[in-house]
Structure 1
């Protein structure tokens, strides 16, 4: 899963955070502007993006816009949500002044995406998701740790950078108090998290509570103070960070942890799916629309999942027979998740170097599939200790100017139990190259796109692309080891399983335990891994659907154009066209790609 923080920040990263990336609409009540009030569409989009950076300064920082690095608005308030509603409606009214058919082709794409965004954002603001400000997978208390530890998206290069971060720290305490108030509103309304998820969040908060400021993750930037700073600045900043950690950050995390443990946990629900909360079915319907960017019904998605699980199991059976394993497929899964031959690593460095070796193997073959490659640098890093226990491997985008690389984060809790059969090759293709790193970097580097598209994120296309790239393994020189290919099939069936368990839990009464069992019955994943996955889907309903829905659409388009164009079909051109205009809703993507295919003929 990419770590773009969804709309570029973990604060905006989940619809359950209730504000920053909520989407879609009611008819604008604002009075339409005349044509003389509106310039060209590009000016409107630029103005929108300028306002967006002020509303979501964490996202701006992630995108390399450092003008608001000291700001942390309290997005938990009703006033902020009303501000967003007015913001989206204002631009929806402006958009109505343009005749789409008279726009240039690229502006037509922008028009369609922009209208979709505004509508979806306004619809999201009608929901009660603000009653669950964060969970164990995404949320400001976690992203604060990433931003503030240094080495991530928040810059720590100048004395002003260090002072900027302290500005955000001051806003965090206020944010946390409002979040607790919203949690309490949710408790009274019955809009609460499932109990197992709350049990995961509590230790995350407790881990940030220290008695020695130098032991805090937030002390990281002090350990790397630039030598060029004056002694006076070094002393001033060090003292300020010690004070901020002990007087603001530690008390805030302690307060959050104690609230969750003493007040919230007893009120947490025993049910699994979002349907159990008031208006839960409407919530899930919205999440499905938002994450898949389609109008597919839950039942259609569920049946697709069952069909894909069956198909991929058939291919797994072929691999089992190829390697001569005596026993059924479930016994083969158990062998792959338990035999010591698949846990060869002794150190964290060995795991990271194994991924670097994969990169080296595919690099000579990339020109066969891509004409355009990103300029943004790329690195492989281990996930930070404070969040690795509940983190998945993920990608964090770099900045368009190359000042911050794209980073593939690998959580390594214990190198000696890190399994090669977890699909290391397919994982690298998905999270790193040519998956998220290519798609996101090429999008951000394309200065012909308006900024709201350069820094956009749609899970269906973005995750769909990354899952599709896993199927390119053999073309890139991978999957020569049948167990690595089996790992790739495991990754693919994992996304198919998600269609079954996500819809199953949130609409069909499937329990957490039943979902865990279904996952373990159909792929080589251990109970700890399956539990973390299922609890992720419980925390972010619908998000897990985006991968397979998007991948199936991209594969459908590739096959369609290959058949239509015959010898005129060039895979490099298909990939380049698919990526050059950035992510977009799937219907807009298909319309764009159909126009491209028509020109090839």
Structure 2
């Protein structure tokens, strides 16, 4: 088997394995081969999956060794590098038993299910019927999760009280909702003939409602009971909230730092980078805009105005949705001059479901389904509109939708010449780095409505810079939860009511928050270097096409791609080095 074919064969096997191991993710993508299944969270399933991933890693290493096979083409070398990263991080996650820590409000199976189920679409009657089989497996899934949490407790892996408390709250909120409005009743069902409703919809809904009443909600109640009775009493207090207080926390955190940044940078180095950006670089920008908008260069006065001025808050939930929708529309109309590749899939703006809103982030994005049944969706939290800052609304929309996540992810999904996994899977530092890069790019594109909204852009930037400080502070340097809150309050204008939820997000997802600023700075540095090399031959649309043309690659691979393009003279049709 030639080198290229051997690598692509492993890539195909990997994607087949990923979809089988994550059937709800497959359905969200619009792939319906596994609609009748939920994830298997058992330790035995993890061992089987690890064996498969390790075998693929060995086969990939053999395929790229160059012994007795044809050389690998540049494009397939990119695929091989990303595939090696995904295999390595997947194996490490199993070896470190990270599922034992997933009782939190972000990555816990309860939260994942409740967020994902309403977004699923079942375009054919057989798909919808398969979903009912899936629904019946909720007790098994939640029971397996509880078994893994208990294994963790036996090994001294207690959760942080803050995050398990948020899980309890969101579960209570869910179970207090009317069964007739249950998220399990809200997926997209098949369309009938000639645009009429599906004639099986009423029967399906009745079957689903019975499952909600008899199977699903009882399972969630039992799950909630265990969190309350077994996890909450032994949870780590706010003075010991980070992973550094666990016996194997240092190893777990180091693995996640590598996985999310794709770079070999220590927590201490990232901590100092964050302090430099938050405490030195950004204050100068605040003072310049603060003088223009508020007539002051006093940093704390600027922060206080941004946090507390009622004129800078949203009027109501409708205002939040209206600003988000109009911002996405304005960005969509402006992207032609800045990108060669453009996505075909649309992006819709929707509010975060009420029962999740109190413990959910301010905004998040769901990619399109590849079967065309659902476009990309930008979710915005409308739970407390009169406390939500209007100044940040535009920068968040640019990050989550266009030219941020929606543009990048939809383009990636539509790159038909790439292996399937490369179109839909990838490095966090690339994905979130692009989202943060897009916030500053929107400023270059002239998309912000005025200086107040540009102050919102700085707020978002200092938010992500402070994440480097706070995430590493909590999980590597032994910071308390209150220290993390105090740092945000002292060095950013992030609204006080959002700070606790943000800090608890980092406690729930260690290392993930590092990816934003690391990725953004890396992309911007590559752009600056390419512009310096190419001079007048540099075209921003061509640069963006190179960055977006290979899927969500690791940052070292992105460096090779951009440097190869620049060395070849740039241009839209230049070959890209692998």
**TM-score strictly above 0.5:** yes
Aligned mates of 1:256, 1:228 — CA distance in 2: 36
Map 1:397-408 → 2, pairs under 5 A: 397-408=367-378
Correspondence for 2:303: 333
Unmatched 5+ residue regions in structure 2? 571-578
Determine if the alignment matches structure 1 residue 253 to structure 2 residue 215: no
Q: 1:159 to 1:210 in 2, by over 3 A?
A: farther
Residues 373-424 of structure 1 deviation map (CA, whole Å, 9 limit, x = unaligned): 1011111111111211122201110023533101111110133333212x11
Correspondence for 1:18: none
Correspondence for 1:174: 140
Aligned mates of 1:218, 1:402 — CA distance in 2: 21
Correspondence for 1:25: none
Corresponding residue SS for 2:413: helix
**Maintained 8 Å contact 1:397/1:441:** yes
Aligned residues: 559
Residues 301-359 of structure 1 deviation map (CA, whole Å, 9 limit, x = unaligned): 1111111111001111111222343472112211221111112423x222211122223
Map 1:372-521 → 2, pairs under 5 A: 372-392=341-361, 393-421=363-391, 423-521=392-490
Q: 1:410 to 1:366 in 2, by over 3 A?
A: same
Out of 205, 208, 213, the residue aligned to residue 171 of structure 2 is: 205
Unmatched 5+ residue regions in structure 1? 1-34
Determine if the alignment matches structure 1 residue 195 to structure 2 residue 164: no
Moved more, 197-206 or 493-502: 197-206
**Maintained 8 Å contact 1:148/1:165:** no
Aligned mates of 1:456, 1:269 — CA distance in 2: 33
Determine if the alignment matches structure 1 residue 268 to structure 2 residue 235: yes
Aligned mates of 2:123, 2:371 — CA distance in 1: 16
TM-score, structure 2 length as denominator?
A: 0.92
Aligned mates of 2:197, 2:471 — CA distance in 1: 52
Residues 61-99 of structure 1 deviation map (CA, whole Å, 9 limit, x = unaligned): 122211111111322x11111111111111122223324
Map 1:352-371 → 2, pairs under 5 A: 352-371=321-340
Corresponding residue SS for 2:186: helix
Residues 9-31 of structure 1 deviation map (CA, whole Å, 9 limit, x = unaligned): xxxxxxxxxxxxxxxxxxxxxxx
Task: Tell me how far 1:166 sits from its aligned partner.
Answer: 1.5
Task: Tell me how far 1:206 sits from its aligned partner.
Answer: 2.0
Task: Tell me how far 1:497 sits from its aligned partner.
Answer: 0.4
**Maintained 8 Å contact 2:128/2:190:** no
Out of 86, 97, 110, the residue aligned to residue 62 of structure 2 is: 97
Task: Tell me how far 1:541 sits from its aligned partner.
Answer: 0.7
Determine if the alignment matches structure 1 residue 549 to structure 2 residue 518: yes
Map 1:99-114 → 2, pairs under 5 A: 99=64, 102-114=71-83
Correspondence for 1:79: 44
Map 1:20-35 → 2, pairs under 5 A: none
**Maintained 8 Å contact 1:375/1:402:** no
Q: 1:400 to 1:580 in 2, by over 3 A?
A: farther
**Maintained 8 Å contact 1:449/1:581:** yes
Aligned mates of 1:244, 1:376 — CA distance in 2: 34
TM-score, structure 1 length as denominator?
A: 0.89
Determine if the alignment matches structure 1 residue 61 to structure 2 residue 27: yes
Moved more, 390-399 or 435-444: 390-399
Task: Tell me how far 1:225 sits from its aligned partner.
Answer: 9.0
Determine if the alignment matches structure 1 residue 244 to structure 2 residue 203: no
Q: 1:43 to 1:263 in 2, by over 3 A?
A: closer
Q: 1:328 to 1:155 in 2, by over 3 A?
A: same
Correspondence for 1:19: none
Correspondence for 1:536: 505
Out of 484, 488, 493, the residue aligned to residue 524 of structure 1 is: 493
Task: Tell me how far 1:100 sits from its aligned partner.
Answer: 5.6
Aligned mates of 2:314, 2:518 — CA distance in 1: 35
**Maintained 8 Å contact 2:121/2:187:** no
Q: 1:510 to 1:212 in 2, by over 3 A?
A: closer
Aligned mates of 2:203, 2:364 — CA distance in 1: 36
Residues 109-148 of structure 1 deviation map (CA, whole Å, 9 limit, x = unaligned): 1112222222232222221323223311223212222333
Out of 78, 82, 86, the residue aligned to residue 117 of structure 1 is: 86
Q: 1:87 to 1:223 in 2, by over 3 A?
A: closer
* Structural RMSD (CA): 2.2
Q: 1:180 to 1:401 in 2, by over 3 A?
A: closer
Q: 1:587 to 1:553 in 2, by over 3 A?
A: same
Task: Tell me how far 1:540 sits from its aligned partner.
Answer: 0.8
Moved more, 437-446 or 312-321: 312-321
**Maintained 8 Å contact 2:103/2:149:** no
Aligned mates of 2:33, 2:189 — CA distance in 1: 25
Aligned mates of 1:164, 1:540 — CA distance in 2: 32
Q: 1:258 to 1:354 in 2, by over 3 A?
A: same
Aligned mates of 1:177, 1:191 — CA distance in 2: 18
Moved more, 361-370 or 559-568: 361-370
Aligned mates of 1:568, 1:223 — CA distance in 2: 51
Aligned mates of 1:222, 1:89 — CA distance in 2: 37
